[in-house]
Amino acid sequence: MVDNGVSDSLFKMPTIKFTKLFINGHFVDSISGKTFETIDPRTGEVIVKISEGTKEDIDAAVAAAREAFDTGPWPRMTGVERAKIMVKWAELIEENGEELAALDTIEAGLLYQLTKFGIPAAADMLRYYAGAADKIHGEVLKSSGQFHAYTLMEPIGVVGHIIPWNVPLMMFFTKVAPSIAAGCTMVLKPAEQTPLSALFAGVPDGVLNVVPGFGPTAGAAISSHMEIDKVSFTGSVETGREVMHAAASSNLKAVSLELGGKSPLIIFDDADLDKAADLAFFGMEKYVLLVLEGIYDELEKKLVEKAKAWVVGDPFDPKTNQGPQADKNQFDKILSYIEHGKKEGATLLTGGKSIGTKGYFIEPTIFSHVKEDMRITQDEIFGPVMTLMKFKTIEEAIKRANNTRYGLAAGIVTKNIDTANTMSRSIRAGIVWINCYLILESDIPFGGYKISGFGGKDLGLNALHKYLQLKSVVTPIYNSPW
Ligand code: ADP
């Protein structure tokens, strides 16, 4: 082990084949010729230089997508034909799975065990929406009898997808699979921290265009573009607001926002505490932990023990529990939240520091006795920082769980079915996991309440409707027998 926790023997560098923009079926340099560096968060060193797309490149990508939508085969194919291509694509993903998974691990610091697990999940997402591609239809309406009226379900057009760095490949297919099944064409901008897996694609020319670049340039060019019909964004609340402003002041394109969260994980006193501790660590980056008074001290002890045994290191090592944070910005942001927690008077039980001098590793950190109005309780940290709070009654748990601007998700750990039912109906969040956490599957809709987003859920059959629009057709019936 070197001092950043990365052992040399595990330092696997996947072959990197694609570093350019993907426009109209070809890998091309950016028009400006500019590039940016993508960084390995294990070491802080450059992995490779990527072509940097700016407004002109977005214009070229949109022109290709527009042409493919307005005159190309993709929206005009039958659903079965589109499905065949999607299924083929799913196979290619599985064939290249190890390489794709390694790209996400090396760029985002995600555990290789998780990114590898994400490969069949991504392929299945394509298969799931492929199965829906030939079942998109409107309906015949009753109307007054004097008219024949029906609806058509049509693809919305050219979609701009803007995605973040947290789970790059899964996010890519969460967006691309339903929109491509719907018959849309698209321009996707991956996050500047994690462009590599998105460049590993392949469908008919112009249908899918990928332009890596930065938010204020390439991202903003998508949200303000006059020829894009819909922008589907996943990222922070602040950027979500900007995307919506830009959409409103350009061509009023449709907007879907999937934004941050600060989700409660609520542990009742009948819970299996080992399981509760496992779930707490599994979703550590995502929530505030609310714990019933009677088990608070015991759970606190278990969590600290677990933190001490928690292995932070090379995400390729199967023994590792936690890899590096995705980039320097994120690393600095998390450490500054930890300082806030200390200053605001929360009790630091364990952790609280970075590890080593190289790369972006942070100790699993647990704050106890946090207050509702502390920044570490209210803000999304997106790092290994757990915050524990005590409650006495179910009513108090509900109140605390809802005392957040966010409404992305919640977790409940209890063996009592009544408690589970009451909690799942009382919490204002888009998904409630009972005795599990962070379970995401193709047919389970995901998306927030309140400032965590709106405009249609990701995943599930609902997600298709983010990329479809309804048209009504009405024609008179002369000499109707009815
Ligand atoms: P995160 O905190 O998850 O990185 P961001 O909202 O900053 O969230 O980034 C999510 C995505 O939005 C990234 O692809 C980023 O490049 C892009 N982005 C950032 N700023 C803008 C902007 N002003 N307009 C459009 N996209 C942006």
pLDDT per residue as tens digits for the range 101-158? 999 999 899 999 999 999 999 999 999 999 999 999 999 998 887 899 999 999 999 9
* Nearest ligand 1 atom to alpha carbon 242: 23
Cα separation, 245 vs 249, in Å, equals 6
Q: What is the pLDDT of residue 20?
A: 94
User: β-strands 385-391, 287-292: how paired?
Assistant: parallel
Q: What residue type is 284 in one-letter code?
A: M
pLDDT given at position 431? 97
Nearest CA to ligand 1 atom 11: 164
Residues near 218 by Cβ (< 8 Å), separated by ≥ 6?
52, 53, 54, 55, 57, 58, 189, 211, 212
* The pair of three-digit structure tokens given for residue 195, joined into one six-digit string: 């462009």
Residue 202 has a pLDDT of: 53
Contact 457, 463 (CB under 8 A): yes
Q: Which residues pair with 266 in a beta bridge?
A: 290, 412
Give the tens place of pLDDT for each residue, 153-190.
999 999 999 999 888 999 999 999 999 999 999 999 99
Q: What order do you get walking across the sheet with 140-141 strand by strand? A: 140-141, 147-155, 468-476
**CA 27 to centroid of ligand 1, rounded, Å:** 23
Q: Whose CA is nearest to atom 18 of ligand 1?
A: 215
Q: Are the beta carbons of 438 and 283 closer than 8 angstroms?
A: yes
Quick one: pLDDT at residue 170?
Answer: 93
Output the pLDDT for position 57: 98
Distance 259 CA to ligand 1 centre (A): 11
Measured from the CA of 166, which atom of ligand 1 is nearest? 3
Q: Which of 189, 214, 239, 379 to mutate to test the pocket of ligand 1 (most atoms within 8 A of CB)?
A: 239
pLDDT value for 11: 52
Average pLDDT score over the chain: 92
User: Which of these ranges, 282-296, 312-326, 358-372, has the smallest mean pLDDT?
Assistant: 282-296
**Lowest-confidence range among 235-244, 276-285, 405-414?**
276-285
Beta bridge partners of 23: 26
pTM above 0.90, yes or no: yes
pLDDT > 70: percent of the chain: 96
Question: Where does the pLDDT of residue 408 fall: very low under 50, low under 70, confident under 90, or very high at 90 and above?
Answer: very high
pLDDT for the residue numbered 284: 80
Has residue 232 got a pLDDT over 90?
A: yes
Give the Cα-Cα-Cα angle 428, 172, 30 (nearest 5 degrees). Answer: 130
> What SS3 class is residue 154?
strand
Q: From ligand 1's centre to the CA of 237, what distance in Å?
A: 10
Computed on alpha carbons and rounded to an integer, the radius of gyration of the chain in Å comes to: 24
Angle of helix 97-108 relative to helix 168-181, nearest 10 degrees, comes to: 120
Q: Quick one: average pLDDT of 295-301?
A: 95
**Which pair of structure tokens corresponds to residue 284?**
């550590």
- Of ligand 1's listed atoms, the one at least distance from the Cα of 190 is 14
Q: Is 162 in the pocket of ligand 1 (CB under 6 A)?
A: yes
Which residue CA neighbors atom 25 of ligand 1 most closely?
219
**Per-residue model confidence (pLDDT) at position 8:** 47
CA-nearest residue, atom 26 of ligand 1: 219
Burial of 289-323, coded b for 16+ CB within 10 Å and e otherwise, reads bbbbeebbeebbebbbebbeebebbbbbbeebbbb
Rounded to a whole number of angstroms, the distance between the first and last alpha carbons of the chain is 83
Distance 192 CA to ligand 1 centre (A): 9
Ligand 1 test: best mutation among 58, 161, 162, most atoms within 8 Å of CB?
Answer: 162
Q: Give the Å distance between the CA of 236 and the centre of ligand 1.
A: 7
Decide whether any atom of ligand 1 lies within 6 Å of the 191 Cβ.
yes
- How many CB atoms are closer than 10 A to CB 172? 26
Alpha carbon 76 to its chain centroid, in Å, reads: 30
- The secondary structure element, H or E, covering residue 77 is none
Rounded CA-CA distance 296/119 in Å is 38
How many Cα atoms occupy the beta-carbon half-sphere of 187 within 13 Å?
34
Distance 240 CA to ligand 1 centre (A): 8
Provide the pLDDT for residue 195.
76
**Measuring CA to CA, which residue among 129, 248, 120, 234 is closest to residue 177?**
129
What residues have CB less than 8 Å from 193, skipping those under 6 apart?
Answer: 38, 39, 107, 108, 165, 326, 327
| pLDDT of 242 strictly over 70 | yes
Instruction: Name which of 223, 153, 164 is nearest 193 in CA terms.
Output: 164
Is 5 a residue whose pLDDT tops 70?
Answer: no
Tell how strand 385-391 and strand 185-189 pair up: unpaired
Name the residue at shortest CA distance from atom 15 of ligand 1.
215
**For residue 286, what pLDDT is reported?**
74
**219 sits in which H/E element:** none
Atom of ligand 1 nearest to the CA of 164: 10
- Who contacts 100 (Cβ-Cβ below 8 Å, separation ≥6)? 93, 115, 119, 169, 197, 200
32 pLDDT higher than 70: yes
Check if 189 has its Cβ closer than 6 Å to any atom of ligand 1: yes
- Which alpha helices (H) appear in 316-363, and where do they start and end? 328-343
Atom 2 of ligand 1 has which residue's CA nearest to it? 236
d(CA 28, CA 190) in angstroms, rounded, equals 16
Average pLDDT over residues 378-402: 94
Residue given tokens 């490949």 in the structure block:
169
The residue contributing the CA closest to ligand 1 atom 4 is 164
218-239 average pLDDT score: 98
pLDDT over 70 at 3, yes or no: no
Ligand 1 contact, 341 CB (< 6 A):
no
Tell me the two tokens of residue 95. 């064939």
Question: Is 242 near ligand 1, meaning CB less than 6 Å away?
Answer: yes
Between 5 and 446, residue with greater pLDDT: 446
Using the predicted structure, report yes or no on whether residue 26 has a pLDDT greater than 80. yes
